[in-house]
Amino acid sequence: MPKSLLAKNADVLVTMDGERRELVGASLYAEDGVIKQVGPAAELPQTADTVLDMSGQILLPGFVNCHHHLNQTLTRNLPACQNNNLFPWLKAQYRIWAATTPEASRASVIVGLAELALSGCTTVFDHTYVFKSGNTVDCVIEAAKEFGSRFHCSRGSMSRGESNGGLPPDDCVEDEAFILKDSQRAVETYHDAGRGSMLRIVLAPCSPFSVTPGLLKDTAAMARRYKVGLHTHLCETLDEERYTLGAFSMRPVEWMETVDWLGDDVWFAHAIHVVDDEIRHMARCGCGAAHCPSSNMRLASGIAPIKRYMEAGVKVGIGVDGSASNDASNMMLEVRTAFLLARLKMGLLPPEGPQTYMNLSQSHPRRAAEWMSAREVLELATLGGARVLGRDDIGSLEPGKCADFFSIDLNTVDFAGALSDPVAAVVFCAPQKAHYTVINGRVVVDQGRVTTVDLRRVVAEHNRHASALANIAA
C-alpha cells in the first residue's frame, strides 16, 4: 500500500501552480512522496498514514536554495574575516577550509541543512570545492542523506594555485586529471536524473580565478556527456572583472563563452557586475543566476540586477551562499532580504523626472522595473529555483509534483496586524521558523523541531570542530 500523508485545513495554501492560486481552508494529500490532490479541505481524503493539522497556518511550496557552501557553517563569524571583501576574505579562509575533516564535514552539512529546513527550504544545492584532509563528495552526500533534504551536490574544484596565477594557495588545489576522474566517479556513482530524484550531481569549478581554462572546457564537455548541470561563481566582484580583463582581455561572461560555459545547463552564482548586452546574451543561451543578497552585502560585492534578469528571460533563483559570508543558512531571511534589496536598488537609480512615488509605473518606469513584490520574490524562491536547477517536479503544490512544502504559524506576535494579506506577511514581516517542513512526503520539521537527527548532539560536535578550525585561523 502507498504511504500517504494529509496536510489538512490550512488557513491559506499557496500553490504556485499555473494560475498562482492561493486557496483558503485547503488541504494537500500525497502518496509515496508525490502530491495527488490539492484543494478545499472538504473535497480531499480525511485520513492518511500521517496527518498534519494545518489550522491557523499558511502552507507554501518548499524553498529551493540554488547556491550554498554547507561546510562554511564551520567558519562563521571568524574575527579575521569580519571586515573583508571577497578576495582577502577568501585568502583568509582557504587553508581553514582545506583542514575540514570528514567528521567536521558531516556535522557542518547537517547543521546547515537543519537551519535551512527550519526556514522552509526543502531542496539544496551545495557548492563544495575544497577537498583536502579526507573530505570528499561522499562525506557531503552521506550527511545529506542522513538529514533527508532533496540534494543537488557539486563535485567542485580548484586547480589553479598562486604559483600559476590563481588566487588559492598551491596546497589547497587539486591535480586536474584527478579532478576529472573523481568528477566522473561522482556522477556515475550518485547522479539520479529521474523524476522525484533526491540526489543529483553538478560539476562546479569554483571560479575563473581558481581553475584553468582547460579544466573549465573539460568539465563542460563531461557535464554534457553525462547530462548534468554546470555551476560556478561569476561576476561577483569588480576584482573578478579586473582579473578576467587582465588575464584574458575579456569581461567574465564573454570569456566563459570561449570555454563553452554558456547554455541552458549552466547557472552562475551572484552575477552582479553585468551589462545589458550580457544579460540578453545569458537569456538567449538559457543561463540561470543564483541571487545571494545577504552575502553580496556582507562582502560589499554589489547589488545584482535581478529584475532586469527576470524581464530579459534569464532564469533566476535565490541562494543563501556560504554560511561564512552570510553567517546564516536561513532561506526565509534570504527571501526577505532579496525583496528589500530590490527596493533599495530602485531608490539608488538616477531620478527620472518629478520626485514623486505616487505612481511608480507611470512616473518612473525605470524605477518601477526594479521594484519587486512579495509574491514575485516567493516565486523566485520556489518555481524560480526549480527552473534554475533544471527541475519541473518541484517548486509548486499541484498533482504530480513532489510533496515538498512547509508551513508557518500565523497566530504569532510577529504577524499581529498583518493578516489582511497572509501571503505577503510571510515576506514583509519578521522571518519566521517553519512549523512543519515536509520533504518527499517525510516530516523533517515537526512543530518547529527537527525530527531526523539529534540536533543538540550534532551542534555540540559541530562547535568542537569549528573551535579546532578557528585555532588554525588564529
Q: In 3D, which of 85, 97, 75 has the Cα closest to residue 156?
A: 97
Residue 465 lies in a domain: no
Q: In 3D, which of 263, 250, 345 has the Cα closest to residue 297?
A: 345
Question: Tens digit of pLDDT for each residue in 13-69?
Answer: 999 999 999 999 999 999 999 999 999 999 999 999 999 999 999 999 999 999 999
Question: Tens digit of pLDDT for each residue in 320-346?
Answer: 998 889 999 999 999 999 999 998 876
Residue 260 lies in a domain: yes
pLDDT for res 87 = 87
pLDDT for res 251 = 92
Is residue 343 within 8 Å of residue 349, measured between CB atoms?
no
**68 lies in the same domain as 53:** no
**253 lies in the same domain as 317:** yes
**180 lies in the same domain as 52:** no
Question: Tens digit of pLDDT for each residue in 386-408?
Answer: 999 999 999 999 999 999 999 99
**310 lies in the same domain as 229:** yes
Letter string b/e over residues 273-307, b meaning 16 or more CB atoms within 10 A of that residue's CB: bbeeebbebbbebbbbbbbbbbbbbbbebbbbbbb
pLDDT for res 422 = 98
Name the band, by pLDDT with cuts 50, 70 and 90, for residue 361.
very low
Is residue 116 within 8 Å of residue 329, measured between CB atoms?
yes
Whether the per-residue pLDDT at 248 is higher than 90: the answer is no
Lowest-pLDDT range of 5-9, 86-90, 96-100, 263-267:
86-90
Bigger pLDDT: 470 vs 382: 382
Question: Tens digit of pLDDT for each residue in 169-182?
Answer: 999 999 999 999 99
**58 lies in the same domain as 71:** no
| Percentage of residues in the chain having pLDDT higher than 90 | 85
Whether the per-residue pLDDT at 367 is higher than 90: the answer is no
pLDDT for res 254 = 94
- φ and ψ of 165, to 5 deg: 90, 5
Q: What's 386-429 look like in SS3?
A: HHHCCCCCCCCCCCCCECCEEEEECCCHHHCCCCCCHHHHHHHC
**122 lies in the same domain as 20:** no
> In 150-308, which ranges are E strands?
150-157, 199-205, 229-234, 266-270, 288-291
**76 lies in the same domain as 51:** no
Average pLDDT over residues 361-368: 48
**178 lies in the same domain as 37:** no
Question: Tens digit of pLDDT for each residue in 122-173?
Answer: 999 999 999 999 999 999 999 999 999 999 999 999 999 999 989 999 999 9
Question: Tens digit of pLDDT for each residue in 195-241?
Answer: 999 999 999 999 988 999 999 999 999 999 999 999 999 999 898 88
Sign of CA dihedral 197, 335, 278, 301: negative
Give me the residues paired with residue 318 across strands.
Answer: 65, 291
pLDDT for res 474 = 65
Question: Tens digit of pLDDT for each residue in 425-442?
Answer: 999 999 999 999 999 999
Residue 409 lies in a domain: yes
Distance CA 374, CA 382 (A): 13
| Percentage of residues in the chain having pLDDT higher than 70 | 94
Whether the per-residue pLDDT at 300 is higher than 70: the answer is yes
**277 lies in the same domain as 136:** yes
Whether the per-residue pLDDT at 354 is higher than 70: the answer is no
Q: Among all chains, which residue has been given the C-alpha cell 562563521?
A: 76
Sign of CA dihedral 390, 396, 397, 399: negative
Whether the per-residue pLDDT at 99 is higher than 80: the answer is yes
Q: Would you list the DSSP string of 337-357?
A: HHHHHHHHHHHHSPP-SS---
Contacts of 241 (CB under 8 A, 6+ apart): 235, 251, 252, 273
pLDDT for res 344 = 87
Check which CATH number belongs to the domain holding 39 and give it: 2.30.40.10
Give the cell for residue 95: 587553508
**156 lies in the same domain as 32:** no
Tell me the whole-structure pTM to 2 decimals.
0.94
Give the cell for residue 62: 518548499
Whether the per-residue pLDDT at 310 is higher than 90: the answer is yes
Residue 98 lies in a domain: yes
**407 lies in the same domain as 259:** no
Q: In 3D, which of 400, 49, 86 has the Cα closest to residue 243?
A: 86
pLDDT for res 356 = 47
| Number of domains observed in the structure of the chain | 2
Bigger pLDDT: 471 vs 449: 449
Check which CATH number belongs to the domain holding 268 and give it: 3.20.20.140
Is residue 353 within 8 Å of residue 366, measured between CB atoms?
no
Whether the per-residue pLDDT at 244 is higher than 90: the answer is no
Average pLDDT over residues 267-289: 97
Structural domain for 144, as ranges: 63-345
Residue 234 lies in a domain: yes
Residue 68 lies in a domain: yes
**216 lies in the same domain as 173:** yes
Residue 169 lies in a domain: yes
pLDDT for res 473 = 66
Average pLDDT over residues 83-109: 92
Whether the per-residue pLDDT at 243 is higher than 90: the answer is no
pLDDT for res 358 = 46
Residue 355 lies in a domain: no
Is residue 425 within 8 Å of residue 418, measured between CB atoms?
yes
Whether the per-residue pLDDT at 349 is higher than 80: the answer is no
The pairs formed by 24-28 with CB atoms below 8 angstroms and a separation of 24 or more are: 26/59, 27/54, 28/59, 28/397, 28/403, 28/405
| Averaged pLDDT of the chain | 93
Give the C-alpha distances (Å, rounded to integers) separating 122 from 9, 95, 262, 445: 22, 31, 28, 11
